[in-house]
Amino acid sequence: MRAFTALTFIASLALSISSFANETIVGSWKGKLAITPEQSMELIFHFKKQKSGYTATVDVPQQQQFGLEFNSVKVSKTNIELSLDAAHIKYSASIDGPLLKGEYSQGGFKAPLNLSRTKQVVIRAKKPQENFDNAPYTQELLTFVNQTTNDSLAGTLTLPSTPYKAIAILLSGSGPTTRDGDAFGHKVLAVIADQLTRNGIGVLRFDDRGVGESTGDFSIATSQDFATDANAAYRFLNNQQRFKDKKIGFIGHSEGGFIGAIASAKNPDVSFLISLAGPGTTGADILIDQSYYIQKLRGVDAATLANSDKIQRNIMSAIQSNISEDDLATLLKNNGIPEKQARAQSKQLSSSWFQYFIKTDPKLFLSQLSMPMLALSGSLDSQVLAEKNIAGIEKAVTKNMLTTRIYPGLNHLFQPAKTGLPKEYANIDTTFSSKVSKDMSLWINDHL
């Protein structure tokens, strides 16, 4: 899940292969990508030859991301071109004997990235809560169509083997996400689905548009567009005779809580909405608060904090006032950001997704809800601050329809944490608090 970070490598996309051939590219290659003068990240690329052409994946061990598939792979005798379109990632390189000499880009960010052959293999460690084998429920692979866009969305439906009353549709957080919710070495959505289904709630989770086995273009979509995917999932379930007596609702994490609010406001037939660390303030406020809080946790001094906060507020205000991409780049540069980085950030902040996220107040949709809502947060959430966003939700939703809770000691992913900083996510064994899943299951059954 992007979880509102400025540079993300979380993606897993559908495959599209070229017909070119070059046996020398097969194998593993690694290199270090300079993110800033002080920060670099090791990437490991893997190329395989298939009957139809080549496949390519990349591992980002530092972020516990493995096997991220490029959706476009073009290989000639002298060059390669790779694309992860949903995340705006591209890598092009010339084949120079034992080296690949190239350039990595993501949005407006560009940097040299040279790769050399390696035998290094880093395998994702299975987390303790991934108890999917011989699970006591049924599992179905399915597809449904968003009639608005004609995109085909692929997902997994898990149904309790004992009588049940409700089906929850899981909505992922920001960033291109598969139905399993692969992030920071965890399968977040798969674990939530497993826990809920064991607790007697049916669950549908699906690959985001343009990701995994789903079609469509993720890169140009906003939260409002993703809400049409959510309601397509609702209609798919609601139109099946076998589910006529079931209550169907949404559970959204982070941006997914925002998407669920939009979808529910437009579809009053939805039976319930659960927001997990979802926003109750504008995206601009979330980014301002997130920046300040994380820097404070990292020990940044008060004067630097105050100056950084002032800059963040000026930038967000400019974006809300519809500043042009070029003028935004100039503003960033005038606030001490190097020109190359300023242009990259300006391009990203000017994207359709960011513009909608920054400018839209979720209370516009929360105030229209006509179904029971449960809003949950962790006290150590450093990305969508719990008290402020829960308070925003409470201001918008009719009091007798809303239940809220902030869990002590849990972070943005609802893991038991020490500080709540994102750097902890990958090193925590727990993927998602089983108590939170149990509470959600009880609440759903109590509010049907």
Q: Are residues 73 and 149 in the same domain?
A: no
| CA 430/CA 137 separation, integer angstroms | 22
281, two tokens = 């303030």
pLDDT at residue 85 greater than cutoff 90: no
Residue 392 contacts residue 361 (beta carbons within 8 Å): no
> Which of 85, 117, 149 lies at the terminal end of a domain, its last residue?
117
Average pLDDT, the chain: 91
Query: Does 125 reside within a domain?
Result: no
Residue 11 contacts residue 72 (beta carbons within 8 Å): no
Q: Give every CB contact of residue 306 below 8 A, 6+ residues apart in sequence.
A: none
Q: What is the pLDDT of residue 23?
A: 55
Q: Which residues pair with 202 in a beta bridge?
A: 167
Q: Are residues 431 and 338 in the same domain?
A: no
Residue 169 contacts residue 204 (beta carbons within 8 Å): yes
Q: Are residues 302 and 312 in the same domain?
A: yes
Query: Does 15 reside within a domain?
Result: no
How many helices (H) and strands (E) the chain has is answered by: 11, 19
> Which of 357, 374, 399 lies at the terminal end of a domain, its last residue?
357
Q: Are residues 353 and 399 in the same domain?
A: no
Query: Does 406 reside within a domain?
Result: yes
Q: Are residues 275 and 327 in the same domain?
A: no
Q: Model confidence over 191-245: pLDDT tens digits?
A: 999 999 999 999 999 999 999 999 999 989 999 999 999 999 999 999 999 999 9
Residue 89 contacts residue 83 (beta carbons within 8 Å): yes
Distances (CA, A) of 140 to 10, 134, 155, 202, 338: 25, 14, 8, 11, 50
Say what the pTM is.
Answer: 0.85
Which residues form the domain of 70? 23-117
Torsion angle (degrees, nearest 10) of CA 361, 365, 368, 374: -100
Residue 266 contacts residue 230 (beta carbons within 8 Å): no
Q: Are residues 80 and 31 in the same domain?
A: yes
- 33 C-beta neighbours (distance < 10 Å), count: 19
pLDDT at residue 14 greater than cutoff 60: no
